[in-house]
């Protein structure tokens, strides 16, 4: 007996109880997920003034931006000694480090970075990933100590640089050791005062904010944020163009400018814990990392690591276990990370991330198949007792209490439960959302081709082929899935679901759209297999 050939009476209303429950649970999960994202990214939908496109902030406006943000009270650094007076004494100085992986130009202004190139990586336009502030008053990350920031620089060895900073009664030494394989600057700062004095040391990270296209219905997968790990929690402050932001994170051991696939992060390794304040004027983001001593001493030592590189999970974990949190896999990260590790194993064999997604999706569907079977059997039982349920409803329509008693008794005798058909779907939701977040945010898919028209699995399908296929297959899946009612009104409502699926996947990364298409397609095959077995 084929499910689709069964003709059952209507549930007696616009929806039957089972359908209403399924829809209610679906909307609960959907809006609950949106509420979770809204709580995590409270500013995601507040930027109504953002322009449709904004090129990367050019070098000519960087000094003005830095000056404007320095004037804000919430992120102001300690009072600085006049830079122009010190430049007359010391003068500009630049030292360059160059390897096969990175190139760094150090400036004596804060012993900061004026230019940083990641030679192994390019943006989507094919240009080498770089942060370039040459010719401006801006440095990527600099250090001032008690208001002084002009260093005398020298190169100690191939990978080691040193800067000394002096003013009346103070001598400071900042030493940087470069690890190009880990994209890491290991930094130690020693400060000596002639008399006991409190330390006011500020590290400053400055990076540009770019326009990022939003996805449909949900906040953009690709977003920029200030990320901080405090003793209480992990905090994320979303950055958008033309949106001013001021935030004080308090004491923090890890802080980062977190872009979609690359990050600039400072990891404290000193006994003294810094306090973090951040600001954005909508074009540039600035993070101030303050080390302020509570007691006056004559000698201090500050140490930290500065990471500048791709958000590869194994690379981040090798630098610091906390850096793994830079990749936001959502509330189901404990599921998403093992799935990513398994997908990497598949990729190591077939060397195509698109095929790895297909294989992972099918394997997950096979593991969840028993739950799917249980759901189908439960829906079939409910379908079979619909005529008798309608009889009970008609017979006891004037006695609701008796109607409920008879309905419960019938369901018990037939071992049918309207909730049991939805429960397996709810159990699968964490895995769905884990895959959803993992495939949408993993660096492994960045600029990785699949086949033919899909040249980058981390961006939307340029011709919308996968979203259209996902919508069509979801329509077929609805047609072959048994339902407890054939209410015409319900049918019209359910026919709208494939359109929603199609619209939803238009702007998500194509790797995620591929997963949704394969997931729906394999669900159809499973359903047809179950139907065939039950009719033979």
Q: Could you say which of 309, 328, 347 is where a domain stops? A: 328
> Quick one: 205 and 232 in the same domain?
yes
Q: Give domain status of residue 51, yes or no.
A: no
pLDDT along the chain (536 residues), means of 10: 35 43 52 54 40 32 40 34 41 92 95 95 92 84 91 96 93 97 97 95 91 60 87 89 90 93 95 94 92 95 96 93 91 92 95 96 89 74 82 87 88 76 74 87 93 92 93 86 62 76 85 92 83 62
> Quick one: 109 and 27 in the same domain?
no
| 477 alpha-carbon distance from chain centroid | 30
Q: Give domain status of residue 115, yes or no.
A: yes
Instruction: Say what the pLDDT of residue 20 is.
Output: 47
Q: Give domain status of residue 497, yes or no.
A: yes
Q: What share of the chain is helix, strand, coil (3-state, %, to 5)?
A: 40, 25, 35
Number of domains in the chain: 2
Angle at 341 between CA 338 and CA 347, to 5 degrees: 145
> Quick one: 444 and 353 in the same domain?
yes
CATH assignment at residue 290 = 2.70.98.90
Which position has the token pair 């139907």? 531
Instruction: Say what the pLDDT of residue 249 is.
Output: 94
Is residue 136 within a helix (H) or strand (E), and if so which, with residue range? none
> Quick one: 462 and 496 in the same domain?
yes
Q: What is the DSSP letter of 10?
A: -
> Quick one: 280 and 254 in the same domain?
yes
> Quick one: 284 and 148 in the same domain?
yes
Q: Could you say which of 328, 358, 393 is where a domain stops? A: 328
Number of H helices and E strands in the chain, helices first, is 14, 18
> Quick one: 73 and 193 in the same domain?
yes
DSSP states of 306-345 as a string? EEEEE--HHHHHHH-GGGGGGS--GGGHHHHHHHHHHHHH
Instruction: Say what the pLDDT of residue 75 is.
Output: 34
Q: Give domain status of residue 47, yes or no.
A: no
> Quick one: 251 and 396 in the same domain?
no
Torsion-angle region of residue 282: left (phi > 0), alpha (psi -120 to 50) or beta? left
> Quick one: 312 and 353 in the same domain?
no
pTM of the predicted protein model: 0.76
* Angle subtended by helix axes 423-441 and 17-40, to nearest 10: 30
Instruction: Say what the pLDDT of residue 390 is.
Output: 86
Q: Could you say which of 291, 309, 328 is where a domain stops? A: 328
Q: Give domain status of residue 393, yes or no.
A: yes
Residue 321: is it exposed, middle or buried by C-beta count within 10 angstroms (0-12/13-18/19+)?
exposed
Full 3-state SS string of 370-421: HHHHHHHHHHHHHHHCHHHHHHHHHHCCCCHHHHHHHHHHHHHHHCCCCCCC
Which position has the token pair 């770019």? 210
> Quick one: 35 and 79 in the same domain?
no
> Quick one: 25 and 145 in the same domain?
no
Q: Give domain status of residue 45, yes or no.
A: no
Distances (CA, A) of 424 to 434, 465, 480, 481, 505: 16, 30, 18, 15, 24
Q: Give domain status of residue 73, yes or no.
A: yes
> Quick one: 314 and 434 in the same domain?
no
- Domain span including residue 168: 59-328
Is residue 300 within a helix (H) or strand (E), and if so which, with residue range? strand 297-310
Q: Give domain status of residue 49, yes or no.
A: no
């Amino acid at each position: 007996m084929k499910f689709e050939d069964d003709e059952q009476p209507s549930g007696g209303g616009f929806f039957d109880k089972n359908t209403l429950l399924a829809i209610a649970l679906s909307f609960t999960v959907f809006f609950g997920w949106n509420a979770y994202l809204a709580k995590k990214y409270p500013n995601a939908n507040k930027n109504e003034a953002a322009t449709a496109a904004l090129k990367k902030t050019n070098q000519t406006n960087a000094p003005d931006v830095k000056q404007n943000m320095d004037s804000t009270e919430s992120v102001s650094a300690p009072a600085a000694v006049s830079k122009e007076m010190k430049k007359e004494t010391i003068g500009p100085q630049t030292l360059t480090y160059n390897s096969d992986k990175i190139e760094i130009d150090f400036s004596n202004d804060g012993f900061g970075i004026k230019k940083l190139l990641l030679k192994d990586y390019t943006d989507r336009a094919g240009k080498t990933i770089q942060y370039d502030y040459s010719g401006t008053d801006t440095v990527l990350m600099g250090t001032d100590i008690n208001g002084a920031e002009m260093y005398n620089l020298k190169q100690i060895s191939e990978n080691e640089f040193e800067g000394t900073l002096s003013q009346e009664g103070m001598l400071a030494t900042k030493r940087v050791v470069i690890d190009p394989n880990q994209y890491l600057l290991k930094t130690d700062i020693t400060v000596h005062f002639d008399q006991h004095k409190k330390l006011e040391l500020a590290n400053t990270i400055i990076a540009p904010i770019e326009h990022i296209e939003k996805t449909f219905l949900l906040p953009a997968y690709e977003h920029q944020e200030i990320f901080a790990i405090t003793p209480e929690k992990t905090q994320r402050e979303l950055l958008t163009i033309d949106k001013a932001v001021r935030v004080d994170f308090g004491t923090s051991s890890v802080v980062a400018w977190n872009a979609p696939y690359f990050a600039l992060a400072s990891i404290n390794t000193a006994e003294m814990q810094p306090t973090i304040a951040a600001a954005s004027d909508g074009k540039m983001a600035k993070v101030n990392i303050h080390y302020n001593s509570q007691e006056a001493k004559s000698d201090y030592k500050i140490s930290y690591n500065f990471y500048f590189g791709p958000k590869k999970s194994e690379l981040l974990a090798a630098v610091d276990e906390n850096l793994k949190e830079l990749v936001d896999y959502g509330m189901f990260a404990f599921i998403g990370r093992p799935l990513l590790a398994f997908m990497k194993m598949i990729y190591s064999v077939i060397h195509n991330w698109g095929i790895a997604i297909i294989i992972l999706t099918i394997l997950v569907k096979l593991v969840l198949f028993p739950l799917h079977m249980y759901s189908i059997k439960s829906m079939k039982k409910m379908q079979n007792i619909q005529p008798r349920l309608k009889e009970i409803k008609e017979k006891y329509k004037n006695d609701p209490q008796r109607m409920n008693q008879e309905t419960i008794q019938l369901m018990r005798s037939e071992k049918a439960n309207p909730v049991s058909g939805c429960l397996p779907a709810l159990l699968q939701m964490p895995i769905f959302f884990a895959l959803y977040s993992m495939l949408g945010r993993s660096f492994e898919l960045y600029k990785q081709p699949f086949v033919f028209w899909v040249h980058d699995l981390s961006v939307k399908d340029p011709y919308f082929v996968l979203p259209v296929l996902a919508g069509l297959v979801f329509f077929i899946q609805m047609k072959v899935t048994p339902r407890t009612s054939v209410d015409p009104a319900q049918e019209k409502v359910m026919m709208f679901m494939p359109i929603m699926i199609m619209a939803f996947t238009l702007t998500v990364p194509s790797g995620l759209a591929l997963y949704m298409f394969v997931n729906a397609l394999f669900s159809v095959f499973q359903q047809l297999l179950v139907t065939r077995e039950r009719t033979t």
